[in-house]
Amino acid sequence: MVNTERAVTGTLDVKQSTSVVLQQKVSGNWRTVASDTTDDAGNFSLKVPTWWLGTRDYRVVGDGTQESAPTTFNVKPSYTPVGKASEHAFMVNSTIARWDPCSVIGWRINARQATTGALADTKAAFARLSQATGFTFKYRGTTAGIPQWDSNSWYPSDTQIVVAWVRKRQTSLFSGQSGADAVGAPYYLMGYHNGDGSSAYRISKGAVVVDSSFRIKGGYGIGLTRGDILLHELGHVMGLDHPSDPHQLMAPTLPNVSTYQTGDNTGLVRVGMAAGCVIIPGT
């Protein structure tokens, strides 16, 4: 279960204290996620990262020569999600658009027109998104800026996502979506690939705009809430589209749920850390 403490323990056949590492398999490559030093008897304990969802393989490498067989860990949500894993969709299907999970994603908020509690709900949404994807999100503070459909070149250099409460006439993101109460949009570039060498579009910026005249209950929980709206629109920012299952949070009409469901989580895992870094071919 997510955030449940788990550790890999064992004993190396060594005559003195030595380094031992825990490696996680990502897109066919092994990367070190924890390290320890054995005691005089060769004993070690390595903490398994369980803060994000998904099934992952791990191995222990000690003294540079001793290597364990892979062990699989499945990190599940702390709640019981509904629906099928297949019930998710991507905004770009032939070549999935993803953020680079190997870099920090900074975000800012424009809550000038929001009601009390908007910042706390937005921080909670990014925390849930982090658990689902393995991404590291960093709050960079407030902004007076309002995202548009264009390149949003005004974003500060440390900021990749802006969440703003606005009047519809203030942003082009509501253009053609007059019936929407909020819009989430990713901005992506071509010419990248995933850790396994497959092609990828790299999402470089994202935006969420919420109609400030839309009054809704703050917080999270069963029933339509501000938290539901934020999680849904941030799902779009991560590259997810609307699935056919009406019980998923990413459904076109928000269901009576309080967080991401089975299909939502599966889609977020697929665009997240599990697929490896997003890099330029040849680098």
- Topology of 6-75 in CATH? Immunoglobulin-like (2.60.40)
To the nearest 10°, the Cα dihedral for 116, 117, 122, 127? 170
- 3-class secondary structure, 213: coil
Q: Do 260 and 220 contact (CB within 8 A), yes or no?
A: no
> Which sequence spans correspond to the domains of the chain?
6-75, 89-275
* Equal CATH topology for 6-75 and 89-275: no
If we measure between CA atoms, which residue out of 247, 280, 283, 277 comes closest to residue 265?
247
Q: For the chain, give me the number of helices (H) and strands (E)?
A: 3, 15
* Phi/psi at 102 (5° precision): -95, 15
User: In angstroms, rounded to a whole number, what is the distance separating the alpha carbons of residues 217 and 118?
Assistant: 11
Tell me what the mean pLDDT of segment 165-176 comes to: 95
Q: Tell me the average pLDDT across 186-208.
A: 91
Q: Collapsing DSSP states into helix, strand and coil, what is residue 91?
A: coil
The DSSP call for residue 233 is H
Question: DSSP secondary-structure letter at 70?
Answer: P
**Residue 219 above 90 pLDDT?**
yes
Q: Which residue has the tokens 């539901």?
A: 228
Rounded (10°) angle between helices 226-237 and 262-271: 40
Q: What is the mean pLDDT of residues 25-45?
A: 90
pLDDT confidence bin for 135, thresholds 50/70/90 = very high
Q: Can you give the pLDDT at residue 282?
A: 63
pTM confidence score: 0.93
Residue 41: which of 68, 20, 69 has the closest Cα? 20
Mean of pLDDT over the chain: 93
Averaged over 75-89, what is the pLDDT? 95
Class for domain 89-275, per CATH? alpha beta
| DSSP assignment of 102-171 | TSEEEEEEE-TTSPTTHHHHHHHHHHHHHHHH--EEEEEEE------SS--TTS-TT-SEEEEEE-GGG-
- The pLDDT tens digits for 52-76 are 999 999 999 997 778 899 999 999 9
Residue 206 tokens read as 């994202």
Write down the pLDDT at residue 241.
96
Q: Render pLDDT for 220-274 as a digit per residue (tens, 0 to 9).
A: 988 889 999 999 999 999 999 999 999 999 999 888 888 999 999 999 999 999 8
